[in-house]
Every structure is written in C-alpha cells, then in structure tokens.
Amino acid sequence: MDFGRYQKAAVKTLQGTQTEQDSVVVPLLGLLGEAGSVATAYKKHLRDGASRPLGKQEIREELGDVLWYAANLANSYGLDLDDVAAASLEKAKQRWRPSDPHEPLLDEHFPVTEQLPRRTTFTFTPTVRPTDGRTVVKISRDGAPIGDPLTDASTIDDDYRYHDAFHLAYLAVLGWSPVMRALLKLKRKSDPATDEAEDGGRAIAIEEGVSALVFAYASRHGFFDHLQHVDNELLQTVMTMTAHLEVSNCRPADWEQAILTGYRCWRTLTAQNGGIVEINMEERTMQVLPAE
C-alpha cells in the first residue's frame, strides 16, 4: 500500500471532528499519545526484562497507530503523506550525505587568476608582540604574508588567533570563503555582480559571523574533540545565515564536514604551537602536516 491510498483510507475512519479545530487537535493529541505508547512499551521491556519480551507485533501495532494519526494530521493541513515522506527522505539525505566531491567548484567558470587555489599550503607562525607581550599568529603562503597578524581579540586567551583555520576549512571543503578570497586578492572582479554579492563586505561579515557563532558553540562542547557530529540546530542557523549566498547549494552534511575538519586542524595547530596546513579543494580535504 502506498502512502496516498493509506491516507485516504485513514481519513475516512477519523471520528469526533465536528469542527475545523477538532480535525487538527484530535490527530495532534493522538499522535503525541501514540508516540508515547511506543516509548512506554519499550520502557516496560527495559524494566521487566526477559519476563516481558517486546515483540515485533506490539511495535507494529503501536507504529501503525502513530502512522494513522500522522496521516490525519497531514490531511488537516492539506498535506499529501506521499509528499511528506519524500520531503523527509530528502531532508535526511541533505543532513547525512555530503555532496558529490566531484561537482564543479563555485568559481570553476571564472578565470584561473580569480580562482581559489586548488592545492596549496599555509603556514601559521605564532610570535610574541614586543609592544605588549601578546601572542599573535602570522599566516603566510609561499613565504608571503596573508593578512594582518591575529590576536584572540578578547580578554580571554582562547586561541581564536588561529581561527583562519576555519576559513581555510570552508575553502577546502565547501569551495567557499569570501574572507580568504579577499586576503588572497582573488575577488571575481570580471563579474561585478558576483564581486559585490558573493565576494564583498557583507559576505565577508557573514563568514566571520559564522566562524564566531560556531566557536562560541564549540567552546562549550570541548571544541568538537571526540565528537563525530554537529548539532542540527547549529547547522540550520548557519544555513539560514548563508541562504542568499552561493554556498547555499551546500548541504548541512557539507557544513558539518567543514566545521569538524576546521576544528580538527585548529586543535592540532594550538597543541603544537603553529604549523603548516595543506588544503586540497579537489578532494575537499585539509590537514596539518606533521611538525618537523
């Protein structure tokens, strides 16, 4: 039986919905109750152990009740259960399956002189600033300095001075980083619209905002050490912040990979007091090379 046929049949058996409000409230409360029944059945199994085996038939019945109420609730909002199921599968795919790494990069069709470097290395070098004794991090590529030396820009010593590792991870994994594009002087000036909307100040500010937002979250979660996944709400916030930019074609799974990659390298850089970061945009990878 397909979902469409099931939904039509389920609607015909809905009782006690005299008003439009009833047609929503009854299935809604029923859905909550039946979902609780599934959990209760398993709770009793845990409590009583072998004396109360949890069989497929019991779970089948409880899940059937959940599905029945879900079908009626969907109908109350003019939703087709087939569409709901298809959208759910697409959402799961976007969340857990990264994009094809062989898809064209965002600047693939721009002149080579405006493309982000496909394979390169960046050196992070911490030094003590003589004027105030604060530690700053200088970044260079092929011996040429990239941007200004960075401090933590905070009264707290939290190693945010290494945060360009996050921008490099966005570059390597997502093929996107207005910040690094500006620092490397690779803005796409051949297309004024792209230069303004994708490589301009607003896009740069948004990327810096994403970096700061994720760092605030990471600081409360061990900087993602030993974690394999990023909270979905955080990913959705990042997706909302970047929804109008070209990077919106990336999936939550891509952002998760970029964030975890960036923090893995950041932890290594802070632990060994600097180092060389190697990126490979074609393979969507980034790593800190072993210290000499």
Domain locations in the chain as residue ranges: 3-96, 112-288
Length of the chain, please?
Answer: 292
Class for domain 3-96, per CATH?
Answer: mainly alpha
Coil, strand, or helix at residue 125?
strand
The pLDDT value given to residue 291: 74
Q: How far is CA 247 from CA 139, 244, 252, in A?
A: 25, 8, 11
Q: Whole-angstrom Cα distance, residue 71 to residue 15?
A: 14
Q: Whole-angstrom Cα distance, residue 98 to residue 253?
A: 5
The pLDDT value given to residue 18: 63
The pLDDT value given to residue 47: 83
- Which of 216, 90, 66, 77 has its CA nearest to residue 156? 216
The pLDDT value given to residue 51: 67
Coil, strand, or helix at residue 280?
strand
Q: Whole-angstrom Cα distance, residue 161 to residue 124?
A: 10
pLDDT along the chain (292 residues), means of 10: 90 77 85 90 80 76 92 93 93 91 93 97 94 92 93 93 98 98 97 97 98 97 95 97 97 97 98 97 95 71
Type and span of the H or E element at 288: strand 285-288
- Which of 266, 251, 253, 157 has its CA nearest to residue 211? 266
Q: How far is CA 117 from CA 46, 100, 107, 198, in A?
A: 55, 20, 11, 17
Q: Whole-angstrom Cα distance, residue 27 to residue 158?
A: 50
Q: Whole-angstrom Cα distance, residue 194 to residue 20?
A: 49
pTM: 0.87
Neighbours of 215 (CB within 10 A): 18
Q: Whole-angstrom Cα distance, residue 241 to residue 264?
A: 23
